[in-house]
Structure 1
Amino acid sequence: MSVARSRRISTLILGRVARNLMARASSGSVALVSLWPGRTDRLIIAPHDLRTADATRAAEIYAGRFVFAGKIVTCHGRSIFELEPPSDDWEAALLGFGWLRHLRAADTALTRANARALVEDWLSNPNYKRPMARRADVLARRVISLLSQAPLVLGDTDGKFYRRYLRGLAREIRQLRSAMIDIADGVPRLQVQIALCYASLCLANQARHIRTTARKLSEELQRQIVPDGGHISRNPGALIELLTDLLPLRQTFAARNIAPPPALLNAIDRMMPMLRFFRHGDGNFALFNGMSGTPSDVLATLLAYDDTHGTPMANMPHTGFQRLDAGSTVVIMDAGASPPPNVSQDAHAGCLSFELSSGTSRIVVNCGMPSTGRDNWRSFARGTPAHSTLTHHETSSCQFVEFSAMKRLLQGAPIVSGPAAVESHREAVANGMLLTTSHDGYVNRFGVIHRRVLMLSPDGTRLDGEDTVALASEGRSKGRDTDYALRFHLHPAVKANRLSDARGVMLVLPNRDVWTFEALDDRVELEDSVFLAGNDGPRRTSQIVIRQDSHHAPSVRWSFARSSSSPAATAARRSARREPELPL
């Protein structure tokens, strides 16, 4: 184990142990904390909820059927909070209380009464407070839900329930403040600050807390949102999750006639263009660093707040992504180093991977991460072979915490070693836009550097690429492990057929457009793959694979080209000039 890797692991462990000790020390005094948020005798305002509501789900909830994260639990007359949850994702969704918006969408006396009964059941029974309920991000989500859905729960109610609701809400907010001591860095920490800021704005007699919460939120935004608008975790999905809360927060400040913090306004202004940067022609986000299926309804709502409606920027140097646009073709590439270990629990080893789309059809993708049941796929999805890039000796370009005990302690498997020196350079040339990149993720173990060059033609009908395994500055490889594989995972909607000369693949898109992949100097295989980020769960698909040995062939040249002919004509034209079949 390298010294740098050992140091990162030690830092993570020491940080986690310190947070545990602080949390234990503070747990005994939580009950003695002053009754912040003060004299909560009324709610002043309820923030807007941008998440999509489905009124039809209100009937299911009234019937005692709770469907979250792909799992169904039926109450059969018992309290839903007493039942054993089928998964952590399901429990987090239940205890986040986001489902209240579905009851509000139905807007009937029956659903309002149902909402009050469920909330009162939760607030009046301390036995329901399981560990998941105290998890900081779940607690933050619940506080925001109880604030934003207060009109539903408190409508047509009496003063006694109103006061009980406020007391329960104040108790949740106090717990949220104490949860700040022991919370994972990244999005959860920012969500807690957002929730506390909402609480100070929405409840009465909180004037002295507004400035404090706004300052802490500003500090966290400045730390986590990098100058180009990306999040420090390098997960595109973090932008959707955060903007869904930040945009209503900006409105809440305005509704209270209080100037929003400049850091909040600046963060939103930087983040909005990133939404367009990561979008393919079909509206879905590129699958990098933990991104799962794109919530298209929420994304459409967020984009309605984008006043610029401009063309996405091509280069995001601080987050580490590149984008090539020509005609109707889009290429989005991960050209950045691994995120800091403390925010890398969901980060992937996908350096120099790219995704390719034409119009509304995605062609080359990464496998992505499923929206539910992540634990079953997490190890595979984070590895380099699950990405459309080069894998050296079937080894990921990043190393993750591996031991189970350490994963439990660190609440995940952060990256402890990965690409640090990632270079990217783009320039306009006569034949199109040229992007030259490299990363050093394999230097310590194998003594090699992966270089990738992409060139997109001006009309977007051709993408040429070259991948090279080059010796590092030491001048020799480490060991005899010189094999590598080049993978291009295909979207499930693409029909792929390997050409008879075994050096190309014909790709038929859903709209019947035809693209051809070619690698004239190398044998091409078409193998099984899996697309994890589908809205309907994991789906089988295919991947184009080229296997080589850097001693004999340190470089592989390849291309994707769009054909104006039908699939049959393309195959006939390609067969007429095919080269002899390679020996098996």
Structure 2
Amino acid sequence: MTAGFVDEPRLAGLMLRETGRRMRSALRAAAWPSLRLLPAGVPEPVAVPADLRRADAAAARAFYVGHLWLANHLVHLGGQSPFLVTDAPDAWIAELNSFEWLRHFTESGDALSSEHARTLVADWLRLKRRQLPRLAFDHDVAARRVIAWYSHAPILLQRADEAFARRFARALDDEVRRLKRTANAAPDGLPRLRVRMAVAFAAVAQPGRTCGARAAARALGEELDRQIHPDGGHISRNPATLVAVLADLLPLRQFFANQNKPVPRAVFGAIDRMLPALRFFRHGDGALALFNGAGVPDHHLTAALLRYDETLGEPISQMRQSGYQRLAAGRTILITDTGLPPAPEVSSDAHAGTLAFEFSAGGRRMIVNCGAPARLDAGWRRLSRATAAHSTLTLNDHSSSRFSRSERLDRFLGGPLMPGPTRVPTTREEIGEGQILTAAHDGYRQGFGFVHERQLFLSRDGGRIDGVDRLFHAAGRSQRLASEEPMGMLRFHLHPDVSARDTGDGIRLQHGDEVWWFGSEGEAKLEDSIFFADGAGARRTRQITVAFDCLEYRELGWRFEREG
């Protein structure tokens, strides 16, 4: 760890802040208990929040046979309680203890499903805290559990005896009280926001407690205003985070209304900003652009969320605060990352993909980034976050932003992305022939003495994309000071469904009825690549690579053009 501190002084500050946050959380969780929030009687909610996530009755039946597929991992129970499994991946344990899988039992809806769901919850309630994994009480997992218990209380309480109902009410109350006490000590970003939403769900669910609902709404509103940019993006810069937030925030808004409680203005405002932002990141096939932690798409959930979007017309063209640009013409959509890395505290899923782009045509994704892996294997995760896993320029296979070199630090801090680029100036203009976007970043200034500039042109009919990548000597820094002689490499990762063939006159790309040709000023090659953002696991794909000798040339042009 000491070496990590010497190499990355910022990590020392992050380490101290994270240690302090955990201590505050532990102290507040152990604080003297406040008065119970729920009445002593059996909780029988008049209305429950909706669950917009897809449910499958077959997934509920898997609990009967003891083969649980959660978080892209299959675990065989072997007759034991799922909550006593100790050798499963952390992602599986977190998903299990979130109880979000209760939606599958609600979907089934019969008496047997109700009894089995109740038995599973009772099994969890019987266990002492020391018997459960520590991960089960992380802020994010506990907040998801509270929301799931409220959302699926009817299936649990259907024909329940009074003893279970009281035990369930006490446990739910204890969970909410602990989250209220420790909300400010929750990890920044989505976990803290989820805690605020869970407390708001609890406050709204209790009839007659207007003051509690107002306080919870005010705290949630303040957190939404802090975390959701004016352009609708999240401070983590992860497009998939918008889906996660909206999946809980939209039902919460309706829950306020159903319980005849005023919906906080900040909730309305955040939703109105996020829905257009979600459309901004969406390709023609419904998948989100693969930037900064976005991975396997949930087409059903995204479509369900966008049904609430009442805005008309085309998606917005730029997200200034979040740092993204979108060019669209004809059947072609091009989305590029033109932002600074997020703050280290909320960057555990962020990628070093500055100036990377994706494009789709006719509802077919052609050029992509590799995306985040569905299974959170540490090695794959680190590889997917590197600049080389993105459709942009690398120098000597170095990333434009830095990562910790210590696995122990990564486990403790969540793998923060250390700042690389400090400036990403961006301009765009409309000309007669189409749209031009120009952006630059200084992420390679420290190691190599270069600033990378990328210019993208999309023709008015959407049939041609011209690109130029340039390298400039950074002001005040001589190339002779660079630690290595740089060799650039342009990468264009192909979607796995794209077939590619080098004809000698260019590289022919085909995806369905979309046929495009790639050409460049340098020699282009087809090489192997990996596409992580697939529900079935990592898939083999191809990438176009073009070597860029930075010492001989300062710019390199390339083109994608639709056939015919």
- Whether the TM-score (by the shorter chain) exceeds 0.5 is yes
1:531 partnered with 2:531? yes
Q: CA deviation at 1:121?
A: 1.2
User: In the alignment, residue 220 of structure 1 is paired with which amino acid?
Assistant: E
Instruction: Please show how residues 207-356 of structure 1 align to structure 2 within 5 Å.
Output: 207-356=210-359
- Alignment coverage as a number of residue pairs: 557
- 1:37, 1:206 within 8 Å by CA — same for their partners in 2? no
- 1:157-236 → structure 2 map (5 Å cutoff): 157-180=160-183, 182-204=185-207, 206-236=209-239
Deviation at 1:58, TM superposition (A): 2.0
Question: Could you give the per-residue CA deviations for residues 403-442 of structure 1, whole angstroms, max 9, x where no partner exists?
Answer: 23322332x2212221120011110112210111111111
* Aligned residues: CA RMSD: 1.9
Is 1:492 the equivalent of 2:492?
no
Displacement, 1:2?
13
TM-score, normalisation: structure 1 = 0.92
Alignment of 1:97-136 (within 5 A): 97-126=99-128, 127-136=130-139
* Residue identity in the other structure for 1:200: A
Structure 2: how far apart are the matches of 1:439 and 1:187? 27
5 Å-filtered alignment, 1:475-490, equals 476-477=478-479, 478-479=481-482, 480-490=484-494
Please give the secondary structure, in 1, of the residue aligned with 2:283: coil
CA distance in 2, matches of 1:167, 1:462: 62
The code of the aligned residue for 2:518 comes to: F
For residues 263-310 of structure 1, what are the alpha-carbon distances to aligned partners after superposition, in whole Å with 9 as ceiling and x for unaligned? 110000000001110011111111000100110010111011111243
Secondary structure of the structure 2 residue equivalent to 1:180? helix
User: Is residue 224–residue 270 contact of structure 2 (8 Å, CA) maintained in 1?
Assistant: yes
- Letter of the 1:11 partner, please give it: G
Rounded to whole Å, the distance in 2 between the matches of 1:532 and 1:77 is 33
Q: Matched residues in 1 for 2:259 and 2:207: separation?
A: 11
Shift in CA distance, 2/199, structure 1 to aligned 2, threshold 3 Å: closer
Deviation sequence 1:140-193 (CA, Å, 0-9, x none): 111111110001000122333222211121122223234435432101110011
Q: Which segment drifts farther, 371-380 or 161-170?
A: 371-380
Letter in 2 for 1:110: L
The aligned counterpart of 1:52 is 54
1:459-478 residue pairs with structure 2 within 5 A? 459-474=461-476, 476-477=478-479, 478=481
In the alignment, what sits opposite 1:582? Answer: none
- Do structure 1's residue 79 and structure 2's residue 81 form an aligned pair? yes
Q: Hey, what's the Cα distance between the residues in 2 that align with 1:128 and 1:214?
A: 34
Match status 1:452 vs 2:460: no
Greater shift after overlay, 163-172 or 3-12? 3-12
Structure 2 CA distance, aligned partners of 1:187 and 1:420?
24
Aligned partners of 1:162, 1:469: CA distance in 2, in Å?
66
Post-superposition Cα deviations, 1:181-235, rounded to whole Å, max 9, x if no partner, equal: 5432101110011001001111345333111111111111011000000000000
126-135 or 429-438: bigger deviation: 126-135
| SS of the residue 2:541 aligns to | strand
Distance in 1, Cα, partners of 2:167 & 2:464? 65
Counterpart of 2:392?
389
1:553 aligns with 2:556: no
- Rounded Cα–Cα distance in structure 2 between residues aligned with 1:10 and 1:214: 35
Whole-Å separation in 1 of the counterparts to 2:517 and 2:249: 43
For 1:73 and 1:4, the matched residues in 2 are separated by 41
Q: Displacement, 1:74? A: 3.4
Q: Percent identity?
A: 42
CA distance in 1, matches of 2:230, 2:126: 45
Could you state the TM-score of these two structures normalised by the residue count of structure 2? 0.95
- Verify the 8 A CA contact 2:73 2:375 in the aligned structure 1: no
Question: Who is 1:517 aligned against?
Answer: 518
Q: Which residue of 2 aligns with 1:360?
A: 363
CA distance in 1, matches of 2:191, 2:366: 33
**Structure 1 residues 354-363 or 62-71, which shifts more?**
62-71
Say if 2:5 and 2:12, in contact at 8 Å, map to a contact too.
Answer: no
1:34 aligned to 2:37?
no
Q: Which amino acid aligns with 1:490?
A: L
Is contact 1:447–1:474 with CA below 8 Å preserved after alignment?
A: no
Confirm or deny: 8 A CA contact 2:29 2:178 kept in the other structure.
Answer: no
- Tell me how far 1:48 sits from its aligned partner: 0.9
Query: Which amino acid is 1:9 matched to?
Result: L
Amino acid at match of 2:404: V
Structure 2 counterpart of 1:39, one-letter code: P
1:516 partner amino acid: W
Question: How far apart, in 2, do the equivalents of 1:325 and 1:80 lie?
Answer: 48
Name the structure 2 match of 1:154. Answer: 157
Distance 1:4 1:546 in 2: 36
The CA deviation string for residues 4-49 of structure 1, in whole angstroms up to 9 with x for no partner, is: 99563233122112113323433543xx311332535334331111
The runs of 5 or more residues in structure 2 that have no matched partner are none
Residue aligned with 1:219, SS: helix
Structure 1 residue identity aligned to 2:466: D
Q: Deviations over 1:318-341 (max 9, x none)?
A: 100000101000100001111111
Deviation of the 1:62 alpha carbon? 2.4
| Segment of structure 1 superposing worse, 38-47 or 247-256 | 38-47
Tell me, in whole angstroms, the C-alpha distance in 2 between the residues paired with 1:528 and 1:101: 40
Cα contact 2:29–2:182 (8 A) shared by 1: no
Asked whether the 8 Å contact 1:5–1:417 carries over to 2, the reply is no
Aligned partners of 2:339, 2:517: CA distance in 1, in Å? 29
Deviations 1:546-568 (A, max 9, x none): 1121121111100000012xxxx
The one-letter code of the counterpart of 2:89 is S
Structure-1 residue corresponding to 2:23: 21
In 2: Cα distance, 1:442 partner to 1:551 partner: 15
2:90 to 66, 88, 91: 88
SS state of the match for residue 422, structure 1?
coil
| 2:382 pairs with one of 365, 372, 379 | 379
Q: How far apart, in 1, do the equivalents of 2:249 and 2:404 lie?
A: 32
Code of the aligned partner of 1:37? L
Q: What SS is found at the alignment partner of 2:425? A: strand
Find the residue that maps to 1:452 and give its secondary structure: strand
Residues 1:257 and 1:27: Cα distance change in structure 2 (over 3 Å): closer
- One-letter code aligned to 1:434: I
Q: Is the 8 A contact 1:5 1:416 kept in 2?
A: no
Residue identity opposite 2:66 in structure 1: G
List gaps (5 residues or longer) in structure 1: 565-584
Deviation, structure 1 residue 63: 2.7
